[in-house]
Amino acid sequence: MKNWLTPKSTAGIMLIAVALAALPFVVGMAGQAWVRILNFAILYVFLALGLNIVVGFAGLLDLGYIAFYAVGAYAWALLASPHFGLHWSIWAILPIGASCACIAGIVLGSPTLKLRGDYLAIVTLGFGEIVRIFLNNLNAPFNITNGPQGITLIDPVSFGGFKLSGFTPIFGFPVSGPQKYYFLLVALAILVIIINLRLQHSRIGRAWQAIREDEIAAKAVGIDTRNLKLLAFAMGASFGGIAGGIFAAMQGFVSPESFSLIESVMILAMVVLGGMGHIPGVILGAVLLTILPEALRYGVGPIQKLLFGKQLVDPESLRMLVFGLALVLVMRFKPAGLWPAPERKRELAEGAK
Amino acid sequence: MTQALLEAKAVAKHFGGVKALRDVSLSIREGEVYGLIGPNGAGKTTFFNCLTGLYIPDGGGFTFAGQPLRADAPQQAAQRGIARTFQNIRLFGNMTALENVMVGRHVRTKAGVFGAMFQNKATKAEEAAIRQRAMDLLHYVQIEDRADDLAKNLSYGDQRRLEIARALATEPKLLCLDEPAAGMNGTETAELRELIVGIRKDGTTVLLIEHDVKLVMGLCDRVAVLDYGALVIEDVPAVVQKDQRVIEAYLGA
C-alpha cells in the first residue's frame, strides 16, 4: 500500500471527520425523526457491507440475509429485556448475537455449497422465510419469541452507566438518544469499512474473487472453495448479527414483521445498485435507498398540493412506485451500479520496462 | 533409470455408455516432457480431468511421487503438486494479470481472515512475498509489462502465458498443459516451445496434450498415443512416429 497519509489526504480526513461529527446536530435541527432516519442509513451501510462480503466478494447470491439480522436482533431482545428478566451487558450480548448469526450462516451455507446463481438465491430466500416463520411461531409450547407480538421494553445500549437512550446534557448541551446512537453506528460503520477494505486486498479476498470469476479454475489452483464459501457466509452473517443487535436496542422493540423478504431485497438492492463489490458504491447505495424513500414520503404530499392544489395519490403508494421506477432506470442505464469499481488501468510503474 | 513421478494404473472413465478411457496405464518420469496425443475425442482431456480431480475415475488410480493420489477434489491435486492449464483458457477475467498469479500462490501461503483484518507483520511480509513471486513469474513468462492489465484484455498468446504463470505459482512438481499451442501461429508456438524447455530445465516435469504433432515430436522425451480411450503406444517420439497403429489412428485405416 502506498503512503496515503499525505498532508492533503490528512486534511480531507479531518474535514470528513468534522462533517460526520456535526451531521447529527445539523440534521437534528430539522427534527429528531431525521436523525433516526440518518441512523438507519448508517445501519444499512453496515448491513450492506456485510452482505457485500457474500454477494460482492464471493459472488454468492444471498436473498435471505435479513435472517441473520433477525437472529442478532432476537439475541439482543431475549438477553436484555423483561421477557426473560435478563439484562446482560453489551459486551456479552453482541458477541453472542454475532456468534449465533455466524452459526446460522454456516448452517445455511453448508447445504448450498454446490449451488450457484438462481438456485442458491431460491434456497437462501427459503432460509430467510424459515427464520421469520420460526420467530413468528416460537411462542408455543414454550414462549421463547413471544410470537407476532414481538418483544418490547428492550434495554438500550449502555456502556457502564452511560445509556444511549434519552437526553443527556453534554457541556450543558442536550444530546438526544438518536444522536448518541449515531456516533456508535458511525464507529461500527468505519470498523466494517476497514475490515472490508483489508479483506478485499488480502489472500482471502483474492481467493473469493477467484471463486466468483471461475470456480473450476479456482479449484484447479488449489483453493478450497468449500471452506472459503462458508467463511464468506459466516462473516457476512456475523455482521448481520451485530447490526441486528444494535437495531433491537435502538428500537426497544422487535417483531418478526421487521424481517420480511422485502428487507432482504432492499439490502441486496443497495449492494447491486451502488456497485457490487465496490465499497464506496455500496455505501452510496445504502444511504440513497434509505434516505430516498423517506424523502419521497415527506416530499410527495406537498408537491402534489403545489401542482394540483390537492392530494391526488396517497404518498405511501406513490413512494414505492417512484422508488421502483428509479430502480428500473438505474439498472437500465447503469447496469454495473451507480458507482462501480473503476476499471483498473495499467499504471506505468517505474521499475517495469 | 529415473524414478516415475506419476503412475497411472488402468484408469477408466465412462459417461453413460461412452467409454472415454479404457484402462489407461502409463508412467511419467521425473524431469521429462511427456506428450499425450491422439485424435479428437480420444480421451486426452478426460485423462487430464481424472488426474487433476475434476472427474473421479470409475476404475484404476494414480500414484504420484510414490504415494497414491486420492484426488477426489481438485484442490487436493494442486496441494500435492499437480498444476494444470485448460484447453479453453480459464483465467479470472476481471482480475489483473498480477492478481491472477497471486491467486496461484494461495495454496502455498496461509494468511487468514484475522491476519487480513489486523494486518500483522507476518501477513504483511507474506503479502509482499506473494506479490514479488508473482511479479517474478510474470517476468519468467515475459508478460511483466502487462501486470496491471485485466486478464480478459490480454492477447490470446499472453493469456496462455498467464495461465502457465498462474499454474507455476502453485509450485507444481508436475505441470499439465492442455493444448497450449492451440490457435497459435508459428512464431508463438516457437516461443511457447522455448518456454516449456525452460520450465523443464528448471526442474518441473511437464505433461503436454497437443494436436501439433511437430511440436510434440520435437519437444517431448516420450509420447503416449490415445485412440478411442485406449492407450495405443507409449515410447520415444522416433518409435511412435513410425508405429503403424499410430499412423492408422491419425490418417484412418
Give chain B positions within 8 Å (CB) of A349. Answer: 147-148
Distance CA(B111)–CA(A238), nearest Å, equals: 20
Residue pLDDT tens, chain A, 353 long? 455 667 788 888 889 899 888 888 888 888 888 899 999 999 999 999 999 999 999 999 999 999 999 999 999 999 998 888 888 888 999 999 999 999 999 998 888 888 877 899 999 999 999 999 999 998 878 888 888 889 988 888 888 777 877 777 777 777 888 888 999 999 999 999 999 999 988 999 999 999 999 999 999 999 999 999 999 999 999 999 999 999 999 999 999 999 999 889 889 989 988 888 889 999 999 999 888 888 877 777 778 788 887 777 777 777 778 778 888 888 888 888 888 877 543 333 333 33
B83 to A353: CB separation less than 8 angstroms, yes or no: no
Whether chain A has a CB inside 8 Å of the CB on B97: the answer is no
Whether chain B has a CB inside 8 Å of the CB on A1: the answer is no
B78 to A346: CB separation less than 8 angstroms, yes or no: no
Give chain B positions within 8 Å (CB) of A345. Answer: 148
What confidence score (pLDDT) does residue A343 get? 56
Alpha-carbon distances of A48 from A129, A207, A259, B117, B169, rounded to whole Å:
19, 21, 15, 18, 34
Residue A235's closest chain B neighbor by CA? B113
CATH homologous superfamily of domain B4-81+172-251?
P-loop containing nucleotide triphosphate hydrolases (3.40.50.300)
What confidence score (pLDDT) does residue A346 get? 39
Give chain B positions within 8 Å (CB) of A276. Answer: none
| Test the B interface: residue of A49, A102, A221, A231 with most B CBs within 10 Å | A221
Q: Which of B78, B93, B113 faces A221 most closely, judged by CB atoms? A: B78
Those residues whose C-beta lies under 8 Å from the C-beta of residue A328, and which sit 6 or more positions away, are none
Numbered ranges of CATH 3.40.50.300 in chain B: 4-81+172-251
Distance from CA of B250 to the nearest CA of A (A): 31
B73 to A218: CB separation less than 8 angstroms, yes or no: no
What confidence score (pLDDT) does residue A116 get? 78
- Which residues of chain B are modeled with pLDDT < 70? 1-2, 71, 251-253
Name residues 196-225 of chain A within 8 A of B (Cβ): 198-199, 202-207, 209-210, 213-214, 216-225
* Mean pLDDT value across chain B: 89
What confidence score (pLDDT) does residue A202 get? 92
Distance CA(A64)–CA(A108), nearest Å, equals: 9
Distance CA(B136)–CA(B240), nearest Å, equals: 37
Name residues 186-205 of chain B within 8 A of A (Cβ): none
Whether chain A has a CB inside 8 Å of the CB on B142: the answer is no
What confidence score (pLDDT) does residue B223 get? 92
What confidence score (pLDDT) does residue B252 get? 63
What confidence score (pLDDT) does residue A349 get? 38
Distance from CA of A348 to the nearest CA of B (A): 9
Residue A231's closest chain B neighbor by CA? B113
Distance CA(A16)–CA(B105), nearest Å, equals: 38
Residue A207's closest chain B neighbor by CA? B103
Give chain B positions within 8 Å (CB) of A224. Answer: 75
Domain spans of chain A, in order of start: 32-277
A344 to B96: CB separation less than 8 angstroms, yes or no: yes
- Is beta strand B4-15 parallel, antiparallel or unpaired with respect to A173-175? unpaired
- E-strand spans in B38-181? 59-64, 67-69, 82-84, 174-178
Distance from CA of B83 to the nearest CA of A (A): 7
A214 to B91: CB separation less than 8 angstroms, yes or no: yes
What confidence score (pLDDT) does residue B195 get? 93
A217 to B78: CB separation less than 8 angstroms, yes or no: no
Those residues whose C-beta lies under 8 Å from the C-beta of residue A104, and which sit 6 or more positions away, are A67, A68, A71, A131, A237, A241
Distance from CA of A148 to the nearest CA of B (A): 38
Q: Which of B79, B92, B130 faces A210 most closely, judged by CB atoms? A: B92
A85 C-beta neighbours (distance < 10 Å), count: 6
What confidence score (pLDDT) does residue A353 get? 35
Residue A211's closest CA among B167, B149, B92, B127?
B92
Give chain B positions within 8 Å (CB) of A213. Answer: 91-95
Whether chain A has a CB inside 8 Å of the CB on B84: the answer is yes
B95 to A206: CB separation less than 8 angstroms, yes or no: yes
| Test the A interface: residue of B103, B166, B171 with most A CBs within 10 Å | B103
What confidence score (pLDDT) does residue A71 get? 95
Name residues 284-343 of chain A within 8 A of B (Cβ): 343
Residue B131's closest chain A neighbor by CA? A203
Distance from CA of B50 to the nearest CA of A (A): 12
B74 to A231: CB separation less than 8 angstroms, yes or no: no
What confidence score (pLDDT) does residue B251 get? 67
Torsion angles phi and psi, residue A259, rounded to 5: -120, 45
Which triple of cell numbers denotes residue A234?
459466516
Q: Which 8-state DSSP code applies to residue A345?
A: P
Residue A25's closest CA among A157, A174, A161?
A174
Give chain B positions within 8 Å (CB) of A218. Answer: 92, 103
Alpha-carbon distances of A8 from A1, A5, A12, A14, B169, rounded to whole Å:
17, 8, 6, 10, 39
Q: Which of B106, B144, B145 faces A221 most closely, judged by CB atoms? A: B106
